[in-house]
Amino acid sequence: MQDKIEKVSIIVSKGSLEGIYPALIMANGARAEGIEADLFFTFFGLDAVHKARHEHIKLATVGNPGLHLATWAGGLPGMSAVMTHYLSRKMDGLDIPPIPEFIEMIADTGAGLYACQASVDLFGLSKEDFIDQVQEVITVGEFYERAAGGQIIFT
């Protein structure tokens, strides 16, 4: 018999719809199952919790094999905006909330939201640049301390 998962720590490293939503869905699912969940936003994943950017996340269309588009087609002007709008409408029809609302919902369940200190320093940011749900800016070592005894998921 397998042990029950009691804790997950999810690393969010991409700043696109297809990079952020899987982490949010997994964190939300974990909390719904009573599993402790933390989200660690690093590198471009910081956009998901950045005050000026979190409402403007787009779908990556260039080189995204899941879209089944030629690379040149994905790079056409406006293609990212069109595909983002299309996907957002489909998700809305499935009651999948927009990223800012989804993050707020997950934080309200008690999940921890943390920004990576190294990435914050790299991009010249500070705690004030992030939405209120980000509890702290922490180091990788502090992330590992929080993740101890649980599963780590990298998205």
CATH code, domain with 124:
3.40.1260.10
Distance CA 148, CA 103 (A): 23
Quote the DSSP letter at residue 5.
P
pLDDT (tens digit, 9 = 90+) per residue, 48-63?
Answer: 999 999 999 998 888 8
Rg (CA), the chain: 16
Given this model, what pLDDT does residue 143 score? Answer: 98
Number of domains in the chain: 2
Given this model, what pLDDT does residue 1 score? Answer: 59
Domain around 144: 1-55+103-155
Same domain, yes or no, for 43 and 113? Answer: yes
Same domain, yes or no, for 79 and 155? Answer: no
Q: Choose the weakest-confidence range: 5-9, 18-22, 71-75, 139-143.
A: 71-75
Q: What is the pTM of this model?
A: 0.91
Same domain, yes or no, for 62 and 87? Answer: yes
